[in-house]
Amino acid sequence: MLNKKDAAPPSLLNKLVSLTTIRDVELFEFSLLKTLAELLSIHQISMYKLDQFNTTCWLSTYSANLIQDDDKRQFSESQEIYTSEIMIPEEIKSAQLWIETTKKPYIHYQEDRYLVVYPILSLNKVEGMLTFELSHSLTEGEMLIISSLLSITHNFCSLLDESQKDKLTGLLNRQTFEANIKKINALTLSSDINQDHDGSELNRRRLKVETGKFCLAIIDIDDFKSINDQFGHIMGDEVLLLLSYVMKQNFRARDLLFRFGGEEFVVIFRVSDKEEAYKVLERFRNKIQEYRFPQIDSVTISMGATLINELNYLASEIIGRADQALYHAKQNGKNQLHFYESLLENGFILEKKETSALNFF
């Protein structure tokens, strides 16, 4: 017979069980912030995810209201997450330098508060930082909670990454595409998200992001079969790797980059309007055209793009619109970018209520 002490596992274990039911990296990160806030009884905690150039970062902040009742601190049901792309604050840069030099968390005492910055590591490199404030110095128990959760987070996110990434290029695989389209449609329609994930409630929250539109573009390497035939499949794989490298350099950390298989890639990114999207994609097309690929020298790409809006909810419809624009680019000389909306407006293509151009799902 169990004692009362044995009747339920420790709170930390309950939290870990809840965390590891999540199969979405962003939801996992948000749930991690919530979990740490509750375990450490702090009002607000932030995560800075650094870009590869250490100039900008994505800031996610979890905030929860605390109710004071007979010296007991309780979390209210009102919880929010704010996320935005910002320049890295100078204080965070200082904390990063301290962490990389000393291999220790950054703790700074100021105005009766302790600012705590913990590194989020990937392959021994600081890829992000957790920050929060305390009225007291960290106890050994609190440090153990943070380090344990971050260690598990690193391992679990690595497993999630492996299941969601293309083995050759490291980009997202096409199996993750539809799930990402659903999230984007939710953001396009409303900033209010109420979501249960695999039976684990993530509580009511509002995901506040930049305003704007989403653009989807299909990228296809011109004459890729002839590259494989002339130079062999090893060099063909090298082209795919280098193209994915240029993609990562050209687009932002939070833009969604997919390899759909073969020589076809997809990118989804946020823009203010179609004109901005055109500039971004044309810049990328020119980067590829100017890039010197070993042995092959010059490679070009064709692109078809469309805006994601409240009128196209289905992944198959969105990808079908972009595919029609890509087909037009291929049929009219290659090494071109075309938007579905512009082709439709100018009468080059006819609108289809249902598209079966590509069957990915």
Confidence category of residue 6, pLDDT binned at 50, 70, 90:
very low
Which residues have a Cβ under 8 Å from the Cβ of 52 and sit 6 or more positions away? 248, 253
What would the pLDDT profile of 278-304 be if each residue is shown by its tens digit?
999 999 999 999 999 999 989 999 999
**In this predicted structure, what is the pLDDT of residue 291?**
95
Q: How far, in Å, CA of 230 to CA of 293, rounded?
A: 14
Q: 3-state SS string over 248-309? A: HHHCCCCCEEEEEECCEEEEEEEECCHHHHHHHHHHHHHHHHHCCECCCECCCEEEEEEEEC
Going from the C-alpha of 204 to that of each of 73, 78, 79, 113, 207, the distances in angstroms are: 20, 7, 7, 29, 10
**In this predicted structure, what is the pLDDT of residue 314?**
80
Query: Does residue 122 carry a pLDDT above 50?
Result: yes
Q: Which residue has the higher pLDDT, 190 or 117?
A: 117
Residue 290: is it exposed, middle or buried by C-beta count within 10 angstroms (0-12/13-18/19+)? exposed
Domains 7-164 and 185-190+211-345 share a fold: no
Residues marked as catalytic: 263
Q: What CATH number was assigned to the domain covering residues 7-164? A: 3.30.450.40
What would the pLDDT profile of 158-207 be if each residue is shown by its tens digit?
776 677 888 899 898 888 887 787 777 665 554 333 333 333 333 333 34
Average pLDDT over residues 57-79: 62
How many Cβ atoms from other residues are within 10 Å of residue 202's Cβ?
A: 19
Tell me the CB-side half-sphere exposure of residue 96, using CA atoms within 13 A.
20
Query: Does residue 123 carry a pLDDT above 70?
Result: no
Task: Kindly report the backbone phi and psi dihedral angles of residue 3, in degrees, each rounded to the nearest multiple of 5, phi listed first.
Answer: -75, 165
**DSSP string across 113-149:** EEEEEEEEEETTEEEEEEEEEESSPPPHHHHHHHHHH
151-156 long-range contacts, Cβ below 8 Å, gap at least 24? 152/16, 152/19, 152/20, 153/19, 153/28, 153/32, 153/120, 154/120, 154/121, 154/122, 156/19, 156/20, 156/28
What would the pLDDT profile of 236-252 be if each residue is shown by its tens digit?
999 999 999 999 989 98
Sequence spans of domains, the chain: 7-164, 185-190+211-345
Average pLDDT over residues 346-356: 71
Q: Is CATH 3.90.480.10 what the domain over 185-190+211-345 is classified as, yes or no?
A: no
Q: Is the entire prediction scored with pTM above 0.85?
A: no
Instruction: Produce one character per residue of 262-271: b if its CB has 16 or more CB atoms within 10 Å, e if not.
Output: ebbbbbbbbb
